[in-house]
Structure 1
Amino acid sequence: MTRRIHKYSNQKLSRGEPPNFSGQHLMHNKKLLNEMVERANVSKQDTVLELGAGKGALTTVLNQRAGKVLAVEYDSKFVEILEWKTALNPNTTIVHQDIMKIHLPKEKFVVVSNIPFSITTPIMKMLLSNPSNALQRGIIVMEKGAAKRFTSKFVKNAYVLAWRMWFDLHYVKEISRTNFSPPPKVDCAMVLINRKKEPIIPIKDRVIFIGLAEYALREPRATIEMALKGIFTPPQMKHLKRNLGIKNEITIGSLTESQWGIVFRTMIQYVQRPLWPKTKKKR
């Protein structure tokens, strides 16, 4: 029988009303649901995490392909439907919990989800901002605007840049709002996530790199020299630009992932540690 877990931490659930997940739009297009599972390359060897399972349209596709499915849903009415639909699937666990309070699986896992749009960025941060977790790959459906921002060649946000040091993010396709119930006000998109075989920045240096990214991307359209002025001396900057293969000025937000690796390694090698920018946020 399907097991029901109220919280990974084994604490009692609050009796209050569930958080406002007005951003949850249930996908009903079976072709798209199957495409998500196909693109995630789900197999019987996989543990799959589904965030915002709703009424189980995707869950029932996943549990036919995966070895183990963890379907997270907060709405009690949806949980009852999920339990009924998966009662004969012992590989499926319904997790009745706020998405932002779950503990990610300790074993290697794949995420396949049509996430609540109102908490898109927090969910992505939960999945990607700590590369020491066990996430291997995933397919996520989200608002088109967020999908474009997370996959754009021009990077404005330090946390998005940090994700790309350890994960590849690829914009797969646009999805019409007509494929959802209720239909969102904007079109959506499918995003593919893959853990890099070789990270650009060592995971142990994550906090150091985030400090650099936050400092450098304060003004994403600033030139490299202006953005990194407080870190590198003029001779060091000249050396850095030579390493980057840059002759003309370009904006800091235009650097490629591999160029960011060069910036980081140059800082580590030539800049004294007290001058390394530090992250101002708790990690």
Structure 2
Amino acid sequence: MTKKKHKYSNKKLSRGEPPNFSGQHLMHNKKLLQEIVDQAKVSKKDTVLELGAGKGALTTFLSERAKRVLAVEYDQTFIQVLNRKMAHAANTTIIHEDIMRIHLPKGEFVVVSNIPYSITTPIMKKLLSNPVSGFQRGVIVMEKGAAKRFTSPFIKNAYVLAWRMWFDLEYVKGISRECFSPPPKVDSAMVFISRKPDPIVPYKDRSAFFGLAEYALREPKAPADSLLRGIFTATQLKHVKRNAGIKHDVSIGALSERQWGVIFETMTQYVRRPLWPRPRKTTL
């Protein structure tokens, strides 16, 4: 049978298989499902987006608690199961679509999902890289390694740093592979995400901050001094370090969210705009 590459995970797919099927492991532990919904603080005021609904184990709990549920699933077999299971849930809409092709809800919404591992980062970028969306908070079950990377105090990726300017990401707990069917090869984790009441960087400056983050995190373990010298004059850098409390030997990836806020604010105030680092087009 002809094979083609998975456009997100670079894995081979048989013809006719959904583009995000790889890495989808269905949860069957009812206690865990209830805990996820509780952690997300789902109420009758909420529109909930579920990405990768599978056979509807989590969808059922969400429909009982939310005002509206939008359950996204690509696999046709699962869609049939979902339609039968949720037939009498008037507040639940089943969406047969590739996760990466859907349009996010226009109003405020919450995300509660056990997402396919193979497209974890693309899904997170879809939700978090554009802070003007209506995404408010969520609980996402994902591969444990990705959860650790997204919530680590040491930041290696520019997009993760950008997310932290607008959202808080909290590693809630690890989840055993035995809670899934089929069991994945690695353990999972629950991550809680919430929109910051006061963003560190204004939403309108999203593009400019991505440029700074990509430039600065080219070498996350390099001294902050050496990388920031490419943006600031000696006098400006002295001002930044004093106001942000940056020590001379700290690596750029170890800087805190507050320190990045000071760096960005100083850049926009004192560095001429043509000299700001520009983001790659693929980032935005």
- TM (norm. structure 1) is 0.93
Structure 2: how far apart are the matches of 1:211 and 1:199?
A: 18
Quick one: distance in 2 between partners of 1:245 and 1:22?
A: 45
Task: Provide runs of 4+ in structure 1 moved above 3 Å.
Answer: none
CA distance in 1, matches of 2:230, 2:55: 52
User: Equivalences for 1:1-150 in 2 at 5 Å?
Assistant: 16-150=16-150
Aligned-pair identity in percent equals 71
d(CA) in 2 for partners of 1:247, 1:24: 44
Unaligned segments of structure 1, at least 5 residues: 1-14
Deviation at 1:230, TM superposition (A): 1.3
RMSD: 1.1
SS of residue matched to 1:58: helix
Structure-to-structure mapping, 1:103-252, within 5 angstroms: 103-252=103-252
- Contact residue 150 and residue 169 of structure 2 kept, 8 A: yes
Aligned to 1:11: none
What is the match of residue 5 of structure 1?
A: none
Distance across 2 between alignment mates of 1:106 and 1:218: 34
CA-to-aligned-CA distance 1:21-64 (integer Å, 9 cap, x gap): 12000000000100000010000110000000000000000000
CA offset at residue 234 of structure 1?
A: 1.2
Distance 1:138 1:30 in 2: 19
Gaps of 5+ in 2: 1-14
Q: Distance between the aligned counterparts of 1:65 and 1:133, measured in 2? A: 23
Superposed displacement of residue 246, structure 1? 2.7
Which residue of 2 is the match for residue 9 of structure 1?
A: none
Given that residues 55 and 78 in structure 2 are in contact (C-alpha distance below 8 angstroms), is that contact kept between their aligned partners in structure 1? Answer: yes
Instruction: Please give the alpha-carbon distance, in whole angstroms, between the structure 2 residues aligned to 1:133 and 1:79.
Output: 27
Which structure dedicates a bigger proportion of its chain to helix? 2
* CA-to-aligned-CA distance 1:68-102 (integer Å, 9 cap, x gap): 00000000000000000000011000000000000
Q: Quote the Cα distance in structure 1 between the aligned partners of 2:132 and 2:247.
A: 36
TM-score using structure 2 length: 0.93
